[in-house]
Amino acid sequence: MARRNLNGLRMLVTGASQGIGRALVLEAAKRGCRVLAAARSQTLLDELAAESTKTSSTVKTVAADVTKPEDRTAMVAAATQHFSGLDVLVNNAGIGATGHFMDSEPDVLRQIFETNFFGLAETTRAFLPLLKQGVKPAIVNISSVLGKRAIPGRSLYAASKFAVMGFSEAIRAELAKDGIDVLVVSPGLTQTNFSKNMLEQKAKIQLDHLRGMTSEEVAIATLRAIERGTLDVTLTFKGKLLLLVNRFAPWIIDKVAKKKVRELFADEIAERKKKLTEAVTNAS
């Protein structure tokens, strides 16, 4: 667990064109980092590069999809070309979906895991040779509070973030021999366009009105964790409260969640009971 001076650090941020990733690029560059911004949209990357020139000239871009092997190779090549290596890898790229598991399609779950877990893991694998040669190197995985406590209607996304958490804990020990720190930042509901870019939005309860921290606040908290070498950071008051209750009395959250689901599906439950009663009556 190393403390770092951000000035001069070579950093790659995936999912950098919007939201937390974009804020991270701009804030890190402002603090003297040399930043490689990676995202699928070259147009949005160009806009980000133009914005960064107002405060810094150290932002480079590479159009890349973390789920594609050739694009991961392109990111490594870009980091080598522009910075001759890398010190901090920020795995931020992610997608989501809402809705109940029984209403979802297998392809949606696979798409979420391809980006949120497999893309993250394989991007990490691709950059390990460079990170081993970096200055106080670190891998920063942007997870979620839902990667520590899942809630109804977010099962697919939560599952992918639980995988990220488990992966991070395992490689944290494995990479200690190489001097590479593995940090996990778990934001709560954040004010971004994330919900607008979801694969599906089928949840009966919308949580957008509860979004608290801004992308900029998450970026600042993430950079603070990198500076201090803080290995596990949970953000937002509501997120911390959820995990506190879950730690000491998880049954409370289970009870509240079940009650809410029963309320949302009251008509369906009543109809099912009616059919069962009719079936029993007819059988007798």
Task: Provide the phi-psi class of 179: left if phi over 0, else alpha when psi is between -120 and 50, else beta.
Answer: left
What is the per-residue pLDDT across 236-280, written as a single tens digit (0 to 9) for each?
888 999 999 999 999 999 998 888 878 877 777 777 777 777 777
Q: Give the distance between the most distant pair of CA atoms in the chain.
A: 81
Instruction: Kindly give the pairing relationship between strand 34-39 and strand 59-63.
Output: parallel
Structure tokens at 257: 């969640």
CA dist 217 and 23 (Å) reads: 9
Residues 6+ apart with CB under 8 A from 120: 66, 91, 93, 141, 164, 167
What is the per-residue pLDDT across 134-190, written as a single tens digit (0 to 9) for each?
999 999 999 999 999 998 888 999 999 999 999 999 999 999 999 999 999 999 876
Q: Check if the beta carbon of residue 92 is closer than 8 Å to that of residue 123.
A: no
Model pTM score: 0.88
What is the per-residue pLDDT across 112-126, written as a single tens digit (0 to 9) for each?
999 999 999 999 999
Of the pLDDT bands very low, low, confident and very high (cuts 50, 70, 90), residue 6 is: very high
Please identify every residue annotated as catalytic: 157
At residue 204, the pLDDT reads: 55
* Closest C-alpha among 34, 32, 29, 36 to residue 52: 29
Residue 28 φ/ψ, nearest 5 degrees: -65, -40
At residue 55, the pLDDT reads: 72
Residue type, 12: L
CA atoms within 13 A on the CB side of 2: 18
Top-confidence residue, 20 or 276? 20
* Closest C-alpha among 155, 140, 152 to residue 205: 152
